Structure 1
Amino acid sequence: MTMHTHETAPTQFVEAGGIRFAYRRFGKTGGVPLVFNQHYTGTMDHWDPAVTDGLAKDRDVILFNNAGVSSSSGETPSSFQEMGANAIAFIHALGLEQVDVLGISIGGFVAQEIALQGGDLVRKVILVGTGHRGNDMTASRSAEIFATSYDPPEHLWLAVHFKPTATSQRAGLAFLERKLRRHDRDPDVTQQTIAAQGEAIGKWITPDENALAYLKSIKQPTLIAQGSDDMIIPTAHSLTLQQNLPTAQLIVYPDSAHGSIYQYPQLFVAHASLFLDA
Structure 2
Amino acid sequence: MSVTELFADRGGDDTYVVPVGGQRIRVKVRRGTGVPLVLCNGIGAGFEVLEPLVDKLDPERAIVRFDVPGTGGSPASPLQYGFPYLAWVLGRLLTTLGTGVVDVLGLSWGGALAQQFALQNPSRCRRLVLVATGTGVLMVPGSPRVLAKMLTPRRFTDPDYAASIAGDLYGGTAHRRGDDVAKLFLQQLHAGSLVGYLHQLLAGSVWTSLPVLPLIRQQTLIVAGTDDPIIPVVNAHIMNRLLPNATLHLHSGGHIDIVTNAGALAPVIGAFLR
Q: State TM-score, norm by structure 1.
A: 0.82
- Render the CA deviation track for 1:86-141: whole Å, top value 9, x for unaligned: 21221111111111111111100000001000111111111010001411326454
Are residues 1:214 and 2:212 paired?
yes
Residue 229 of structure 1, aligned match among 227, 230, 240: 227
1:271 to 264, 268, 272: 268
**Per the alignment, do residues 12 and 267 of structure 1 end up closer, same or farther by CA in structure 2, a change over 3 Å counting?**
same
Matches of 1:177 and 1:45 in 2, distance apart? Answer: 11
- Sort the Cα spacing of 1:146 and 1:20 in 2 relative to 1 into closer, same or farther, 3 A: closer
Change (3 A) 1:168 1:191: closer
How many angstroms apart in 2 are the aligned matches of 1:13 and 1:68? Answer: 13
- For 1:229, the aligned partner's letter is D
Matched, 1:169 2:172: no
In structure 1, the partner of 2:112 is 109
Secondary structure of 1:70's counterpart equals: coil
- Structure 1 runs not aligned, ≥5 long: 1-7, 206-210
Structure 1 residues 140, 105: CA separation in 2 closer, same or farther (over 3 Å shift)?
Answer: farther
Report 1:184-203 matches (<5 A): 185-203=188-206
Give the match for residue 7 of structure 2: none
Equivalent of 2:30, from 26, 32, 35?
A: 26
Identity %: 26
Q: CA RMSD in A?
A: 2.6
Cα shift readout 1:139-164 (whole Å, capped 9, x = no counterpart):
4544333369776133244443234x
Residue of 38, 50, 53 corresponding to 2:52: 50
Counterpart CA distance in 1 for 2:230 and 2:142 is: 10
The whole-number CA distance in structure 1 between the counterparts of 2:46 and 2:169 is: 15
Q: What CA distance in whole angstroms lies between the structure 2 residues aligned with 1:178 and 1:249?
A: 29
State the Cα distance separating 1:46 from its structure 2 match. 1.9
- For the pair 1:152 / 2:160, whether they are aligned, the reply is yes
Which residue number corresponds to residue 5 of structure 1? none
Q: What is the rounded CA distance, in whole Å, between the counterparts of 2:15 and 2:169 in structure 1?
A: 27
> Secondary structure, in 3 states, of the residue corresponding to 1:198?
helix
1:161 maps to a residue whose letter is Y
Q: Distance in 2 between matches of 1:88 and 1:158?
A: 35
| Separation in structure 2 between the aligned mates of residue 21 and residue 168 of structure 1, nearest angstrom | 30
The 5-angstrom pairing of residues 25-174 of structure 1 reads 25-26=29-30, 29-47=32-50, 49-73=51-75, 75=77, 77-133=80-136, 134-137=138-141, 139=143, 141-146=145-150, 152-155=160-163, 156-163=165-172, 168-174=174-180
Q: Is the 8 A contact 2:108 2:132 kept in 1?
A: yes
1:12 aligns with 2:11: no
Superposed CA deviations along residues 244-264 of structure 1, whole A, max 9, x for unmatched, are 00111111111x221132343
8 Å contact kept, 2:162–2:181: no
Could you tell me which residue of structure 1 aligns to residue 8 of structure 2? none
